[in-house]
Homo-oligomer: A and B are copies of this chain.
Amino acid sequence: MLLDKEGFIIDIDGVVGKSKTPIVEGVEAVKRLKKIGKKIIFVSNNSTRSRRILLDRLKSFGLEVTEEEILIATYATARFIAGEKPGAKVFTTGEKGLIEELELAGLRLVDYDEAEYLVVGSNRGINFDLLTRALRACLRGIRYVATNPDRIFPSEDGPIPGTGMIIGALYWMTGREPDVIVGKPSKVIMEEALKVLGLKPGEVAVVGDQIDVDVAAGKSIGADTVLVLTGVTTRDNLQQMIEKHGIEPDYILESLNSIFEG
């Protein structure tokens, strides 16, 4: 039974909100889960915001959460690198939110020619100079970590490039792909979530709206997976999505609140 699980690893977009608008059933469900003593952690592939910024977003949805209940790709990336090499010198393509988390983790931000790590994250201020520096960092052969593999991000006025744009540009130019991708569906961010929760894969359920991202991430650590139909996957495209990605969620719910039915 899903409600026997001690912890829930929950995606934000498509589960408790759509961009700046709350998804009422999702928000309600999280409140109820917390009330009955479940541990929860929100996991987001966002590579431009810090936990602080995301916390404000969740609070605006009416959710009382703490920074410890948020695991965002920026923060997970910083933690991962600091775990491998404390105080490492990093060059990043990322913007403020990522830089903030890298610095908070005690990493040193330097230019491409001094760096021990290339950290690729999306940047709405990307330009030719930054791409040139990333290219040169990549050519130096230093360890290369990407916050997430997202190719396209659905913004309010249409599709915009995700972090994958930079990954793709570097791949085409140098033949290199990231040594490590932190965000979903990678197990790196999932293992980080388990560590924060202090739970084992069998003790948690992973909840999200995307089969190839959230469900795949849950499967990567062998956890039970819950697909909700409040985001990109709907009743209409469900079968097609399952066939396309060749992945079956353990549970399929209309919304996260359906967890309390039956």
Contacts and interface: CB of A to CB of B under 8 A. Distances in A.
Interface of A: 123-128, 131-132, 135-136, 139, 151-152, 158-162, 164-174
A1 B158 CA distance: 59
A171 B165 CA distance: 9
A128 B124 contact: yes
Given A165-B169, A165-B173, 19 more contacts: A124-B128, A126-B128, A126-B131, A127-B127, A131-B161, A131-B165, A132-B158, A132-B160, A132-B161, A135-B152, A135-B160, A136-B158, A136-B159, A151-B174, A162-B173, A164-B173, A167-B172, A168-B171, A171-B172
Contacts of A139: 159
Given A127-B127, A128-B124, A168-B168, A173 B161 contact: yes
B168 A151 contact: no
A168 B158 contact: no
A1 to B, nearest CB: 40
A243 B45 CA distance: 43
Contacts of A136: 158-159
**Chain multiplicity (copies):** 2
A131 to B, nearest CB: 5
A28 B123 CA distance: 48
9 contacts: A126-B128, A131-B165, A135-B152, A135-B161, A135-B165, A136-B159, A168-B169, A168-B171, A168-B173
A225 to B, nearest CB: 26
A168 to B, nearest CB: 2
Given A131-B161, A165-B131, A151 B173 contact: yes
A69 B126 CA distance: 37
A128 B123 contact: yes
Q: 8 smallest A-B Cβ distances: which pairs? A: A168-B172, A169-B169, A165-B169, A151-B173, A124-B128, A168-B169, A132-B160, A168-B168
